[in-house]
Structure 1
Amino acid sequence: MSQVRVDPATRAAVDWMLRLESGQACPSERQVFKAWLAEKPEHMAAWQRVAGVLKNPLADLQSVERRNPGQLHAASKALLASSTVTGKKAMQGGLLLLLLGLGAASVVDRVTPLRGLMADQHTATGERKTIQLADGSRLTLNARSAVDIQFSAGQRRVQLRAGELQVDVAADPLRPFVVATAQGQVQALGTRFMVRQGPDESLASVQQHSVQLDTLNGLQRRINAGQAVSFSASQIDPQTSTARSQADWLEGRVELHDEPLSTLVEALRPYQAGVLRISPEAARVRVFGVFSLDDTPQTLSTLAQTLPIKVTRYGPWLTLIDVRG
């Protein structure tokens, strides 16, 4: 992995990006920008690099400026005032996140997820936690996870707000054990299973015995040991055994057998305090091996040495993965 100097062309490209996306650039400024692009090949190359980093969040930049007038200008000025990204890492990291349209709160959120702070139990970035529940069950949370625990005389219920958990269920024939997500609920019929809450769907996999899945729209499925499904409110899709459905994260590792690099990056994100971005081309690179979750810089460095990819770090808060040119 490499630390990147912000050369004059790149600094100018960042400045142009903010000016053009602020919504305040006049036609004459856009003509000047076109002339700047055509002036030197390195200007076009710098612009393509910057646009590649910022292209996904650019739609949000104007709304960021409307919510916090002057934020983009302040971020640009502070970032461009430094000739390297290495010094003052925390400040530079926050500014990079501002440039990505995320705002100061996201700097904090990347360390401790804000939406999990009010949950009964939660984990920070890079943290795993095992909780002994009142009934004797054992609940383990992956990094950046949050749950609410609601035990009553008639039911044991765990609401998974975010992230991933595995539960070893203690027997109690009078009180079923249920893990609920935004898309449905998984009821234990045995002892050990895993549930993940994703942005648009959930995933359940069973390590021992079986579970009963009920989606919000009334679909039902029994899932046995060794099986996994992803589910929305109205659909259930069986999953083949991959790193995504395994519980290797309990041991701080992830094992891939001819799977896309995007799968590994997805597993690493909860352990990476900064923003981790991967290009579509790099996402399709096939990966074999066992990788550590607890030292993401070393894992990414190993990948860069063994795969046809390059990993570039802009301070501690932004890491880009792309194929080698």
Structure 2
Amino acid sequence: MHRETSQEIDAVAADWAARIDRGALSPADEGELDAWIAGDARRLGAFMRMRAVALQSNSARALGPDFDPEAFAQAEPPAATPITRRRLFWLGGSAVAASALGAIGLGLMMRDTVYETKLGEMRVVTLEDGSAVTLNTASRIRVAFADARRTVTLEEGEALFDVAKDPARPFIVEAGGTSVRAVGTSFSVKRLSDAPVEVLVREGIVEVAQPATPRPVRMTANMRIVTSHAVAQPVAIAPTEVDREIAWRSGRIAFEGEPLAQAAAAFGRYSDTRIIIEDPGIGREEITGLFASNDPVTFARAAAASLELKAVIGPGEVRLSR
């Protein structure tokens, strides 16, 4: 028997929430909704989350700019009253308004936390659960922790995640439609403009959900996957290659036979100084070595000496030619 995924449950819950927003349900529809909720323990929570989102969105527009959610949240709460599931769903009038206000206050108290780095900067962030995130150059993450899950959105750049184990709260990294799920492990995620999302597992096990695949792909240590609109599969790589890929956390870039043009472009992520290759044939030459990520001039000089090229240094650039 097919077990619904959380995404499938959320989709159905959102549909029910939208139907309720359009007007009262008929008795038959109410019975259908009750039967759907009773079919899986996860459905009630999903439905209530979707209703809270709808209430927050609708009521925020009605409350206007003078509403103070912090003052509301600090007010003395009313005494608890037993409530049935049906009454919870079909509350009307002032009770619905109070629920909406509560949802807004909670949403504002649980603001996301943003961490970012500038060009050429690296940063290590310790999250509230003990997990550590190492941000590469020009990167930005948004952290939102809840009781049931820990979510980090990689909005741009690259980050290495050393996740604290917590089986009750999976650690989810979202990046451009790709979702990486872990409990306790070490992995990196790269999301650059106009490029597929790349996931590299250093330790442990993760599950990667891709836009083009209905089910997550499981990855173990020393594996890489490059996601796109096509179905991608993880590829095993050597531990030494994993070390090269994450050399950036110590301020280094490692190359092992990469084309010179690709290596030069990599330095563009760390510095405003550009390496310009005038001849496409030169760009296809291969380069190997370990270099300081914030020193493109020294790299260009080393590449010129190795490949018998000329390096002309000018303001904000280095030109390589024969």
How far apart are 1:244 and its partner, in Å?
10
How many angstroms does 1:253 deviate by?
A: 1.3
C-alpha distance after superposition, 1:268-313 (max 9, x if no partner): 1121123444453232111122112132222222222222333334
Match of 1:221 among 196, 217, 220: 217
Query: Please, which of 107, 130, 139 is the counterpart of residue 136 of structure 1?
Result: 130
Q: Pick from 141, 156, 159: which aligns with 1:162?
A: 156
In 2, distance between residues paired with 1:263 and 1:141? 22
* Residues 1:196 and 2:203 aligned together: no
Distance in 2 separating the partners of 1:183 and 1:308:
44
Measure the CA separation in 1 of the matches of 2:277 and 2:161: 32
Gaps spanning 5+ residues in structure 1: where? Answer: 1-117
CA distance in 2, matches of 1:244, 1:268: 18
Offset at 1:252?
Answer: 1.3
Question: C-alpha displacement at 1:210, in angstroms?
Answer: 1.7
The TM-score, its normalising length taken from structure 2, stands at: 0.58
Contact 2:275 2:296 in 1 (8 A): no
Equivalent residue, structure 1, for 2:296:
296
Q: Which residue in the other structure is 1:120 paired with? A: 114
Alpha-carbon distance in structure 1 between the residues aligned to 2:115 and 2:224: 25
The structure that has the greater radius of gyration is 2
**Structure 2 residue 260 is the aligned partner of structure 1 residue 261:** yes
Q: Which amino acid is 1:263 matched to?
A: Q
SS of the aligned residue for 2:304 comes to: helix
Structure number with higher relative contact order (C-alpha < 8 Å, ≥ 6 residues apart): 1
SS at match of 2:118: coil
Following the alignment from structure 2 to structure 1, what is the Cα–Cα distance between the partners of residues 213 and 243?
25
| Count of paired positions | 205
Instruction: State the identity %.
Output: 27
- In structure 2, the gaps of 5 or more residues are 1-111
> Quick check: 1:243–1:254 contact (8 Å CA) kept in 2?
no
Amino acid at match of 2:204: H
1:134 corresponds to which letter in structure 2? E
In 1, the alpha carbon distance for the partners of 2:160 and 2:178 equals 17
Shift of residue 119, structure 1, vs aligned partner: 8.1
1:177-200 CA distance string (max 9 Å, x none): 111111311111441001100323
User: Over residues 9-36 of structure 1, what are the superposed CA-to-partner deviations in whole Å (9 max), with x where a residue is unaligned?
Assistant: xxxxxxxxxxxxxxxxxxxxxxxxxxxx
Q: Distance in 2 between matches of 1:145 and 1:277?
A: 24
RMSD: 2.4
Task: Tell me the equivalent position of 2:231.
Answer: 235
Change (3 A) 1:209 1:185: same
Q: CA deviation at 1:230?
A: 0.5
Q: 1:320 to 1:155 in 2, by over 3 A?
A: farther
